[in-house]
Amino acid sequence: MPETLFANTPRIIALANQKGGVAKTTTTINLAAGLAELGAKVLVVDLDPQGNASTGFGIEVANRTLTTYDLMVEDAPLNLVILETGIDRISICPANADLSSADMEMISNEKRSFLLHDALRQPDMAVFGFDFILIDCPPSLNLLTVNALVACHSVLIPLQSEFFALEGLSQLMLTVREIRQTANSDLRIEGVLLTMYDKRNNLSQMVEADARENLGDLVFKTIIPRNVRVSEAPSYALPVLSYDSSSKGAEAYRALSREIAERYGIKMHINGGVN
């Protein structure tokens, strides 16, 4: 049966783009922070062997005793994998290099594409009370990304404002279509997010115009600007919303968080929860 998104069911959003350097992990971290500011309880699932989302929340490698690898491949229970971050209302399933061998280990499993789907639907998931689950995918269309697309309700695609940006979307869109037909019929595109946008640059404006012409309402109204504070924040293991709350980058990610909350008709506020 199709899954219904009730008020007490986490919205699972995968952030994916097979191209690296498009601000995918940065967007995962800061969207989580923005939603948490609005009162949501968020779980970040780090599905990238580089573990950058984990590092971005200050989770030391030595403290990643159990990771998303254990969650998927070893059937580890959620309560042993999930760690608290230093940011209120944000938890994380961390990742490390163990995930780099996960593709090979999962390939012989007949349920290989559903491992993350099942892991995020363990009976004790409801105990945590998460409102959103954000999956930070690796920069490739491998079996890990397929698991994310099967597990999620929707996919958010960060798109760097650069030449040929749209051309890289074709393979991802084909993969989404295939997943819809074979494993997750309810999968939809949450939206395409323009990142690293420089309004002084004609190229950025051309990419935006091209994206809106070709993708229409799939493109978020919010645009993430190229901002030095966004780039600096990971080195302090903080979202930019905490590192420099008044920066243009922080304000942009707050706007994105509000836009997503409004799409679901969710009323959110800083000192409360999701209603």
Return the CATH number at 65: 3.40.50.300
CB 270 within 8 A of CB 38: yes
The rounded distance, in Å, linking the Cα atoms of 115 and 128 is 20
Query: What are the tens digits of pLDDT across the range 52-80?
Result: 999 999 999 999 999 999 999 999 999 99
- Whether 274 maps to a domain, the answer reads no
3-state secondary structure of 47: coil
- Whether 207 maps to a domain, the answer reads yes
Task: Provide the 8-state DSSP code for 18.
Answer: S
3-state secondary structure of 20: coil
- Whether 162 maps to a domain, the answer reads yes
Domain count, the chain: 1
- Whether 24 maps to a domain, the answer reads yes
Amino acid residing at 226? R
Structural domain range at position 221: 11-263
Query: What are the tens digits of pLDDT across the range 74-112?
Result: 999 999 999 999 999 999 999 999 999 998 899 989 999
pLDDT at site 71: 96
- Whether 6 maps to a domain, the answer reads no
- Whether 115 maps to a domain, the answer reads yes
- Whether 2 maps to a domain, the answer reads no
Inform me whether the pLDDT recorded for 3 exceeds 60.
no
Q: Is 83 left (phi over 0), alpha (psi -120 to 50) or beta?
A: beta
- Whether 193 maps to a domain, the answer reads yes
Neighbours of 205 (CB within 10 A): 14
pLDDT at site 144: 97
Least confident of 66-80, 108-122, 155-169, 216-230: 155-169
Amino acid residing at 98? D
Q: What is the mean pLDDT of residues 205-226?
A: 94
Q: What band does 8 get if pLDDT is binned at 50, 70 and 90?
A: low
pLDDT at site 137: 97
